[in-house]
Amino acid sequence: MVTSGQRYFKVKGDTIAEAFHNLFESFPQLRIHILDESDSIRQHILVYADDSDIRWTEGLSTPITDCQELTVIQAVSGG
Amino acid sequence: MSVTLLVGTIKGAFVIRSNSDRTAWELEDLIFKGWKVTAATRAVDGTFFIGTASDIYGPAIQRSTDLKQWEQVKRGPQFDESLGRKLNQIWFISTKGDTYYAGADEAGLFQSRDGGNTWKAVNGLNDHDTRPGWRPGAGGLCAHAFLRDPSNPDRMWCGISAVGVFRTDDGGATWSPKNSGVQVIIPDENNSEIGYCVHALTHDPENPDVIWQQNHRGMYRTTDGGDHWESIQNGLPSTFGFPLERDPHTGSLFCFPQESDEFRVPVDGKCRVYRSHDNGDSWHPLGTGLPKKGFYGSVLRGAMAVDELASCGVYFGTTSGTMHMSKDCGDTWITFDEVFPRILCVSAFISSEID
C-alpha cells in the first residue's frame, strides 16, 4: 500500500544500506516496515543479495553492484 | 439508523453493518487481512484512523474517508532512536480536538497538529521523571487510555498499564501521577506515585472531572479530576476486568468483569456485561441473549463500544472471536453469526455519516 502496489524497484547504491536509503527517498512510509528504531533490519525480515542472506555477509554494509538483485521477504516460520 | 462496526482482530478488521433498526447485521468487508488492527476512530471531519500492527512489519497509522481506500500517514508515531525504545502497537487514536493524540506500546504519547499526517512525541509524559520505574504488565508497557477536557484543551489524562493515571493541566508540557486512593499493583521502591494498573478510563464530557476507572484492582471513581479515587465495587462479581464504556445520553456505564488477574475469563463461565445507572454506585448484570454458561472468552480493553444513538447500542467482541450487540442499552443482546479471530478492538460508527 505504501508503494501503491509496486513490488519491483530499480535503486542505486554502493551498499545495501544506501540502496534502501534511496528506496525510502521515493517511498518514505516504507521505511518503518523494513527497519526498526535502531536502523536495523526488522527481526522477521530477511534480505538477500542475489542468493546470499545478508545476515551472513556484512549486513546492511554489504557492498553491492549495479546489476545485483535484492530480495526482501518476510520470515514466516515456526509454529 | 444503521450502525457500522469496525471489529479489529489479530488478523485484520471486519466491517459489519446493521439494518436500520439494528436487529440484523451483515459482514461487509475485511480490511488489512493478516494484520493486527488495534485501534480505530473517526475525526470530526469524517476521516477514519486505525492503528495497524504486524509482528513482521511493525505498527502504523492508516487513514481513510470511506473505510475502503486507506493510506498510511506520512510520518506516524516513532521514538527517537537514541532512546532505545521500541514502538510495538498503537493503542488509541484520539481525534476529538484540533490536536490529535495517539497512545502506544512501548509506553508513549504522541500528538499531531496537522490532521494526523505527522506525529511527534509528547516528551513531557514520555520522559517523565518516574519513567525509570515504569514496568510492563502482562499486556506490555502501554499508554492505552486517554481523556481530554472538552472545555479546556490543556487538561488531559493518560493511563499507562502497571504505571497509573497521569494528568496534565498545561497542554502536555508537564504531567502528574493521579492515583491517590487506588490500590497499588507493583510498588516501586523509589516512587510511591507509580505502580497502579489502570485498565480503562471514561468520563462525563459535560463534567470531565468525574472519571471512572476499571483498574486491575477494581472499579474506581473520582469527582475531582483524579486527585482522589474511591472504590465503587457494589454489585460487581470481581475486581478484575478491562473495558469500561459510558452512554453519553443516559450516563449508563458498562463493564465486563472477569475472574481474577490469574484466570481472566468471565466469572463462573457466564458471559455478562454489568451496567450501572447511578454513576457507579451500584452495578447489575445483563445477560438476556448472551451465553449463560460455559463461556470462557474474555473482553479486552478496546473491545467494547457504544454508538451514541438515543437508544444506546452497546457492542463487545471477545478473545474467542464472538461479537455481541445490544440496541437497547444492554437490556437484550444478539450474537453475530460469524466468529472472528481474537478481537482486539471494537468501534461503532453511525452509518449515515459514512455513506
The three three-digit cell numbers of residue B236, written as one number? 460487581
**Residue among B60, B71, B81 minimizing CB distance to A37:** B81
Q: What is the pLDDT of residues A10-31, one digit of tens each?
A: 999 999 999 999 999 999 999 9
Q: Answer yes or no: do B70 and A76 touch at CB < 8 A.
A: no
Chain A residues touching residue B76 (CB < 8 angstroms): 32
Chain A residues touching residue B86 (CB < 8 angstroms): 36-37
pLDDT band for position B354 (cuts 50, 70, 90): low
Q: Answer yes or no: do A32 and B85 touch at CB < 8 A.
A: no
pLDDT band for position B29 (cuts 50, 70, 90): very high
pLDDT recorded at residue A17: 96
CATH no. of A16-74: 3.10.20.30
Query: Residue B138 pLDDT > 90, yes or no?
Result: no
Q: By percentage, how much of chain B surpasses pLDDT 70?
A: 99
pLDDT band for position B353 (cuts 50, 70, 90): low
pLDDT recorded at residue B189: 87
Domain boundary assignment for chain A = 16-74
Q: B232 and B201 in contact (C-beta within 8 Å)?
A: no
A residues 21-40 lying closer than 8 A (beta carbon) to B: 28-29, 32-34, 36-39
Q: Answer yes or no: do B56 and A44 touch at CB < 8 A.
A: yes
Query: Residue B355 pLDDT > 70, yes or no?
Result: no
pLDDT band for position B325 (cuts 50, 70, 90): very high
pLDDT band for position B19 (cuts 50, 70, 90): very high
By CA distance, what is B57's nearest residue in A?
Answer: A33
pLDDT band for position B351 (cuts 50, 70, 90): confident
Query: Residue B260 pLDDT > 90, yes or no?
Result: no
Chain B residues touching residue A39 (CB < 8 angstroms): 81
Query: Residue B184 pLDDT > 60, yes or no?
Result: yes
Q: Answer yes or no: do B81 and A39 touch at CB < 8 A.
A: yes
Q: What is the pLDDT of residues B275-313, one digit of tens each?
A: 999 999 999 999 999 999 999 999 999 999 999 899 999
pLDDT band for position B242 (cuts 50, 70, 90): very high
A45 in reach of chain B (CB within 8 A)? yes
Average pLDDT of the residues of chain A? 92
Chain A residues touching residue B83 (CB < 8 angstroms): 37
Q: By percentage, how much of chain A surpasses pLDDT 90?
A: 80
The CA-atom distances, in angstroms, between B256 and each of B88, B178, B196, B203, B241 are 26, 24, 20, 17, 6
Query: Residue A76 pLDDT > 90, yes or no?
Result: no
Chain B residues touching residue A33 (CB < 8 angstroms): 54, 57-58, 60
